[in-house]
C-alpha cells in the first residue's frame, strides 16, 4: 500500500466590497478576497495539499493567474480538476483537514455547509472532511483583517 501525505497553504488579501467565498460557500461580510479566481483560499490550500501529496507542484502551476480563462472562476472547478488528477493516478483521498484563519466574521455557523459542499465536489463523505476556523487573537494580518490564510493536510492511499 502506498500512502502519501500532502500539505497546502494559501493567503489572500481582503478588500471592501468583494465576495467572500470559503469552501464553496458565499458568506455575508463587508470584505472579500482579492484574487484572479473567486479567491476561495480554503479550496486553494486543499488543492495544494492534494497536489503536494503527489509532488505535482501547486495550483499556480496548473492554473496560472495570467490565463484569462481562470478569471473569477469558481474554485470548486479547480478542485474537481485536481481530484480527477489524483484519481487518474490511482489514489483515493482518505481524509482532508483544513484550517481557516480569519478574525471576522465567525465561520462556525457555515462549517457544516462547507464540509457538504466539499464532499459534493471531492466525492468522499463529509465525515472524512474537516474544516476548522480560528482567529489569530487579533495578531498578524489575519487579526488586523487585512487577509485570510488557510492550511490543509490530506492523506492519499493507493491500494
Residue number with CB closer to Mg ion (10 or 142): 10
Q: Does position 76 bind Mg ion by CB under 5 A?
A: no
3-state secondary structure 19-46: CEEECCEEECCCEEECCCCCCCHHHHHH
Q: How many residues bind Mg ion (CB under 5 A)?
A: 2
The H or E element spanning position 15 is strand 2-16
Q: Does position 40 bind Mg ion by CB under 5 A?
A: no
Residue number with CB closer to Mg ion (10 or 155): 10
Q: What angle do CA 144, 65, 42 make, to 5 degrees?
A: 45
What residues between 44 and 63 interact with Mg ion by CB under 5 A? Answer: 44
Q: 60, exposed or middle or buried, with CB in 10 Å at 0-12, 13-18, 19+?
A: middle
CB of 12 to Mg ion, least distance (A): 6
CB of 147 to Mg ion, least distance (A): 11
Nearest residue to 134 (alpha-carbon basis) of 98, 107, 95, 101:
101
Residue number with CB closer to Mg ion (4 or 44): 44
Residue number with CB closer to Mg ion (44 or 76): 44
Candidates 43-51, 76-84, 105-113, 136-144; binding stretch for Mg ion (CB under 5 A): 43-51
Residue number with CB closer to Mg ion (37 or 103): 37
Rounded to 5, what percent of the chain is helix, strand, coil? 35, 35, 30
Which residues are registered as beta bridge partners of 156?
Answer: 4, 93
Q: Does position 10 bind Mg ion by CB under 5 A?
A: yes
Binding site for Mg ion (CB under 5 A): 10, 44
Amino acid at each position: 500500500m502506498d500512502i502519501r501525505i500532502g500539505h497546502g497553504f494559501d493567503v489572500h488579501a481582503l478588500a471592501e466590497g468583494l465576495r467572500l467565498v470559503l469552501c464553496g460557500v458565499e458568506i455575508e461580510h463587508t470584505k472579500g478576497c482579492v484574487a484572479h479566481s473567486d479567491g476561495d483560499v480554503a479550496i486553494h490550500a486543499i488543492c495544494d495539499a492534494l497536489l503536494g501529496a503527489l509532488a505535482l507542484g501547486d495550483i499556480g502551476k496548473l492554473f496560472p493567474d495570467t490565463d484569462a480563462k481562470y478569471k473569477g472562476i469558481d474554485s470548486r472547478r479547480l478542485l474537481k480538476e485536481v481530484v480527477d488528477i489524483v484519481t487518474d493516478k490511482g489514489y483515493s483521498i482518505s481524509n482532508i483537514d483544513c484550517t481557516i484563519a480569519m478574525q471576522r466574521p465567525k465561520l462556525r455557523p457555515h462549517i457544516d455547509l462547507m464540509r457538504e459542499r466539499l464532499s459534493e465536489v471531492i466525492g468522499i463523505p463529509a465525515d472524512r472532511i474537516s474544516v476548522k476556523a480560528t482567529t489569530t487573537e487579533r495578531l498578524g494580518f489575519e487579526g488586523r483583517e487585512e487577509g485570510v490564510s488557510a492550511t490543509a493536510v490530506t492523506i492519499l492511499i493507493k491500494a
